[in-house]
Amino acid sequence: MKNLALYTIPIKYMLIYVVLILLSGLWLFLLSQGLDSSESLMHTIKNIISTPEIKSMEGIIEVATPHLFAMGTMIFVVAHFMLFSTKISQKVSLIVAMLLFAFALFDIFSYFAITFGLVVSGWIKLLSMLLFVLLFLVMLGMVGFSL
C-alpha cells in the first residue's frame, strides 16, 4: 500500500467536525433551557442551576436514545485511531477512552436524576456536560498530537 499519509486527511477533518458537533450540541442544550429568550449566557446557566426546565420522561428518552448510539459510535471512531499512535501509550488511551464512555453515560442519564427528583438543582447536568466535552477535547488533542 502506498500513500498511507493520505489517511491523515480524513482524520484531521474529523477532529474539526467533532468539535462542531460538540459545540452545536452545547448550543442546542442551552436553547432548550431558554437561552434564546433570556438576557445572556450567564443568566441561562444560573437558571439551569436554580430551576432547570422540567422535561417529561418521553422528552428525555427521545433525546437519550439517539445520543446513546451517536455518542458511543463517535467515541469509538475517534478513540480507535489511538491504536495507531506511536506517540501516546495505549494505556493512557485506554484510560481516557473508558472515562469518556463513562462521562458520556453520566451526561446522557444525568437529567433523569432531575426528573425523578433525586437532585433539585441542574448542576449535575452542567457538570456532566462539562466533563464530557472537556475530556472529548483532550481525546481529540491526543489524536491530533499523534498525527
Choice between 3 and 117, CB closer to other proteins = 3
User: Quick check: 27 binds other proteins (CB under 8 A)?
Assistant: yes
CB of 111 vs other proteins, minimal distance in Å: 17
- How many binding residues for other proteins (CB under 8 A)? 34
Q: Which is nearer to other proteins, 10 or 117 (CB)?
A: 10
How far apart CA 20 and CA 25 sit, in angstroms, is: 8
* Rounded (10°) CA dihedral 67, 71, 73, 76: -160
Angstrom distance (rounded) from CA 99 to CA 104: 8
C-alpha cell at 31: 436553547
**120 scored as a contact of other proteins (CB under 8 A):** no
Q: In whole angstroms, give the CA distance from residue 143 to residue 28.
A: 26
Interface residue with other proteins among 37, 40, 56, 86 (CB under 8 A) is: 86
80/101 Cα distance (integer angstroms): 13
Type of residue at 82: M
* Contacting positions for other proteins (CB under 8 A): 1-4, 6-10, 13-14, 16-18, 20-21, 24-25, 27-28, 31-32, 36, 70, 73-74, 77, 81, 83-86, 146-147
